[in-house]
Amino acid sequence: MFPKLSLRSMFHGAGGGNDIQWCFSQVKGAVDDDVAEADIISTVEFNHSGELLATGDKGGRVVIFQQEQENKIQSHSRGEYNVYSTFQSHEPEFDYLKSLEIEEKINKIRWLPQKNAAQFLLSTNDKTIKLWKISERDKRPEGYNLKEEDGRYRDPTTVTTLRVPVFRPMDLMVEASPRRIFANAHTYHINSISINSDYETYLSADDLRINLWHLEITDRSFNIVDIKPANMEELTEVITAAEFHPNSCNTFVYSSSKGTIRLCDMRASALCDRHSKLFEEPEDPSNRSFFSEIISSISDVKFSHSGRYMMTRDYLSVKIWDLNMENRPVETYQVHEYLRSKLCSLYENDCIFDKFECCWNGSDSVVMTGSYNNFFRMFDRNTKRDITLEASRENNKPRTVLKPRKVCASGKRKKDEISVDSLDFNKKILHTAWHPKENIIAVATTNNLYIFQDKVN
């Protein structure tokens, strides 16, 4: 999966056997350094087949890419992703009661499994979730009796013969239309949406509450978790992420700002304030510092495809939990431990509050997450090897293998290494996605989307 253990091969990316070699495939977005706020990518998600890749941005827009059908003759690489559809999902709104602006930034996109010819996705901003239908039109009716081809109506008295209108092919048109709008159910900012395995319901989570919706019903939703204390002075933690179990439609988890994960079973009671399982790693009290709680805050939680494990991302690490064991994670991977000695400045520039996401590969054998300086990290759970790669236009020749990166924590910097102090903390990779079946990954920098794939011989 990854280069062999010798230092030389780690640096030069030479692999042997079954090691994966990641190559640049495509990059989407503008080259200029002057990034408009609206262009900041805020979410990336493959659909269930991997054929479609959706991105959401701070300007409330959704762009969907579609993978080209593979050219069987030229199998140099898998199909490229090209723009399939783009639409304005959310617009800025004004909350008249509170005199506050509601951002149009798309926080999350989740695809529904495909049931018919059309595709459906849920997109959400801070307050409103929308169900979008994306459908193709490649035929149009022609030969009406009372209408001209350009739509003008014909004078009925001029009609002397009748004909049957027929469908004729036309250029493919992809239309996106909002089918449901789920609004007014969240007082605080929505951080997660997750579609249930029953494909009928989904949950939406804000800082203090989680609601359960039916996809067909927009005028009501059930509150299933409410951690708002009667007295706000007693508030000690907030909900940071939530997800339904991939197979058990009664089970979901939510993570907190204190680094805990609660698993809830909706069969136990209507209001799941009491968890069925509480996942928490005990902390050594002598290690506690001002930053401990902040860096333990979980920014993302994702179930494995198998449903046996879940992964959490906190500021410095990725943890894999076995659902059968609550008292500690089964695996912990350090993403950028060298930042521990920079926490003071990271607090001052607010970077300590950055919310990184994480993702599994299709077989649950590798996990990936982003870091700073446009670096992203992958951890192979079987070989225990990890790799750091960079999303940069410098490596943008298709099929060039990416060179592994290394950060030098302290002391003498070796050649090709980058020192911690020269890392660019404005270049953060918060959102990454892995194709559900193949080794294709989508990595979002601030305003560009990179697509990498493994080398195909």
Partner 1 sequence: MSQKQEEENPAEETGEEKQDTQEKEGILPERAEEAKLKAKYPSLGQKPGGSDFLMKRLQKGNYKSLHWSVLLCVDEMQKYFDSGDYNMAKAKMKNKQLPSAGPDKNLVTGDHIPTPQDLPQRKSSLVTSKLAGGQVE
Where does this chain bind partner 1 (CB under 8 A)?
28-30, 32, 36, 38-39, 41, 55, 57, 59, 61, 63, 83, 86, 88, 91-92, 94, 96, 99-101, 103, 126, 188-189, 207-208, 232-238, 257-258, 287, 289-294, 297, 340-344, 347-348, 350, 353, 355, 447, 449
For 234, phi and psi rounded to 5 degrees?
Answer: -90, 5
Distance CA 173, CA 135 (A): 8
List the beta bridge partners of residue 378: 368, 387
CB nearer to partner 1: pick between 296 and 373: 296
Q: What's the min distance (Å) between Cβ of 314 and partner 1?
A: 13
CB nearer to partner 1: pick between 100 and 159: 100
List the beta bridge partners of residue 242: 254
Alpha helices in 27-183 (DSSP H): none
121 C-beta neighbours (distance < 10 Å), count: 23
Measured in whole angstroms, the distance separating CA 273 from the mean position of its chain's CA atoms is 27
Q: What's the min distance (Å) between Cβ of 94 and partner 1?
A: 5
CB nearer to partner 1: pick between 355 and 437: 355
Q: What's the min distance (Å) between Cβ of 33 and partner 1?
A: 13
CB nearer to partner 1: pick between 249 and 408: 408
Q: Are strands 61-67 and 52-57 parallel, antiparallel or unpaired?
A: antiparallel
Q: What's the min distance (Å) between Cβ of 343 and partner 1?
A: 4
Distance CA 80, CA 26 (A): 8
CB nearer to partner 1: pick between 10 and 27: 27
Q: What's the min distance (Å) between Cβ of 409 and partner 1?
A: 10
Q: Which residues of 378-404 are buried (b: 16+ CB within 10 A; e: fewer)?
A: bbbbeeebbbbbbbbeebeeeeebbeb
CB 408, CB 420: distance < 8 Å: yes
CB nearer to partner 1: pick between 51 and 207: 207
CB 93, CB 102: distance < 8 Å: yes
Q: What's the min distance (Å) between Cβ of 416 and partner 1?
A: 25
CB nearer to partner 1: pick between 208 and 391: 208
Q: What's the min distance (Å) between Cβ of 433 and partner 1?
A: 14
Q: Which of 344, 371, 361, 381 is nearest to 452 (CA)?
A: 361
Name the residue with tokens 């089970």: 251
